[in-house]
Amino acid sequence: MFIFKTSKIIFYCLFFTPIAAVFSQSSIAYLTDRKTLLEGKELFNSSCASCHAIEEEGIGPRLGGITNLLSKKQLTEFIQNPAKVIDSGDTRAVNLSKKFKMVMPPFDFLKPGEINAILAYIDGETKLHQVKPLVVEAENLTLASATGRVGVPVKSSVVSIELEDFAQIPASSDKPPFTRIANMRPHPSADGTLYVSDQRGIIYRISKGKVNTFLDIRSKIDHYINTPGLGTGLGSFAFHPDFLNNGLIYITHTEEFARKKADYEFPDSINVAMQWVVSEWRINDVKNTGFEGTKREIIRINVPSGVHGTQDIGFVPVTDKTDPDYGMLYIGTGDGGSTIGKHPELTHHLKSLLGTIIRINPLGNDGPNKQYGIPKDNPFVNLTEPGIRKEIYAYGFRNPHRMSWDLKHGKILFSSEVGEGNFEEVNVVVKGGDYGWNTREGSYGISPTDLKTVFKIPTQESKKYITPYLEYDHNDGNAISGGSVYEGKLAALRDKYIFGDIVNGRIFFANINKQLADSTIYEIVIKEHSKPTDLRTITNSKRVDLRVEYDGYAHEMYLMTKSDGKIRRIREAQQ
């Protein structure tokens, strides 16, 4: 079976290969009443639009024309169990899965009426814009697409872990995924209290096994949205290192585009899909178990799609106030879907905040909007060309999904990069570094006009950009979940950067030393009652939706899974 060979964000998008089974014309009549079409549009936008469009290819194939190609019954069967259609050997389904390197999970939780509404909307848009079905020819597929293996395989290891249940996060939806838990942060007091965010807009407080709402931002933000796609909503949050004195928390979230002036904009000819906002929240009393206080906006960024946004922020965990990194906020923003949206010119240069990690002083006021400061030791502060964004610390990223720092082996910033069609990578981020997207994926070349094909880079060009420290191809996983270097009591895990794959839930590690001499990726065996198992089995889900989290105070590591809303702690480790 061809399973989940993809470019991340697609897994909750409907219709990866919905035009999959038959080549004959369909004469099905779909409902055309306004209520049905509005419901279908809403469902399409929440479930499909981050990966698919009606008229253009994106992360997945364009959907216009499918209702003329397949019957309602065939489309419904595919939506409910796409892998079954592909496993049947259908030529079109197999070729599309090779071309786009992905298969969506079953959407058997959708009600028949909801599926009918989505199909009615697609059918209406097909007729309105006269869209013909996507043509897929097997001979156009690349060797990499056909074989599925491009890079070096992940190695097996004798390292194993045992998990224990730690907390159950309340459901924030009545449909899968029932939670969208994304980030964990320990309380700065190091008292064992943990905070966990749900992308739908909630931050929970976990203390002594009890889970309570700390902050619900949904009613506090105008035009707040957490759809479409998986990369929207409450992206990340971070406590200021001096939180116990100043009560400051920083949050990144999405808002619908309501014509509010942004701090990064692009030409009016390009559609603004939404805005990413970083804001500062000041709690009235740091001892409160629920948030009461004020907020102010720090920075607002326009993006042309619902993917690859501002999904992680963080402070270097230094405590010395004389350290130049103390209190400097790092903000990772992807390319905003500009490359897959046919606007590669919006990213990979110093005049754009898309595809960057920026470094600001949130308590300063010499930035362009006077709401933050630009550190004097940032790499591009002395450039005089108009339009240069001096906030930029490093650039050339597709989607710097998670950041973490290792202070034991040197002040190392690791950033996990969610890739396109072939590679997942971990970058060691250096000041002023260019990491190559959208002309590099992994250590290979790529063209912005063909994002499914990678090619070997000529030797003379191999040092043009900084290459990944770690990378694995889509034969081993589909979307990287960044992690941290473990320094806890479990000797088998010590001095290892531990991370995983969002979709299949596999857990990986790399051995860390000051020289970063070993870039081999190994897999960790997950055991339950001393017997090998895996997170798909434990969570009873094909898409695990894994996040690897670390409490740097207690030196405890956790695995969070959206599919069941559970947080599990690594209890034991052996090698």
The reported pLDDT for the residue numbered 145 is 47
Residue scoring higher pLDDT (512 or 150) = 512
- Rounded CA-CA distance 162/160 in Å is 7
> pLDDT tens for residues 4-27?
333 333 333 444 444 333 334 445
- Domains parsed from the chain with CATH numbers: 9-140 (1.10.760.10), 160-574 (2.120.10.30)
H or E segment at 481?
strand 480-486
Cβ neighbours of residue 405 under 8 Å, at least 6 residues apart? 314, 316, 317, 411, 412, 413, 414
| pLDDT bucket at 100, cuts 50 / 70 / 90 | low
Predicted confidence band at 64 (pLDDT cuts at 50, 70, 90)?
confident
pTM, entire model? 0.89
Mean pLDDT of 206-213: 96
Residue 552 vs residues 167, 428, 484: alpha-carbon distances, Å:
18, 19, 9
More confident residue, 170 or 60: 170
Between the alpha carbon of residue 33 and those of residues 125, 130, 208, the distances in Å are 13, 19, 53
Place of tokens 């290979």: 444
Find how far residue 31's CA is from the centre of its chain.
35
Q: What is the mean pLDDT of residues 518-541?
A: 95
SS3 of residue 246 by DSSP = helix
Percent pLDDT > 90 in the chain is: 70
Residue with tokens 């190392």: 412
Residue 137: what pLDDT? 63
Q: Which amino acid belongs to residue 72?
A: K
- Binned at pLDDT 50, 70 and 90, residue 452 comes out as confident
Cβ 157 vs Cβ 142: under 8 Å: no
Tell me, what's the pLDDT at 2?
32
Residues 533 and 494 sit within 8 Å (Cβ to Cβ)? no
Q: Does residue 284 sit in helix, strand or coil? A: coil
**Mean pLDDT in the chain?**
89
For residues 113-126, give the mean pLDDT: 90
Q: What pLDDT shows up at residue 7?
A: 38
Q: Which two tokens stand for residue 338?
A: 């500009």
For the chain, the straight-line distance linking the first and the last C-alpha, in angstroms and rounded, comes to 32
370-417 pLDDT, tens digit each: 999 999 999 999 999 999 999 999 999 999 999 999 999 999 999 999
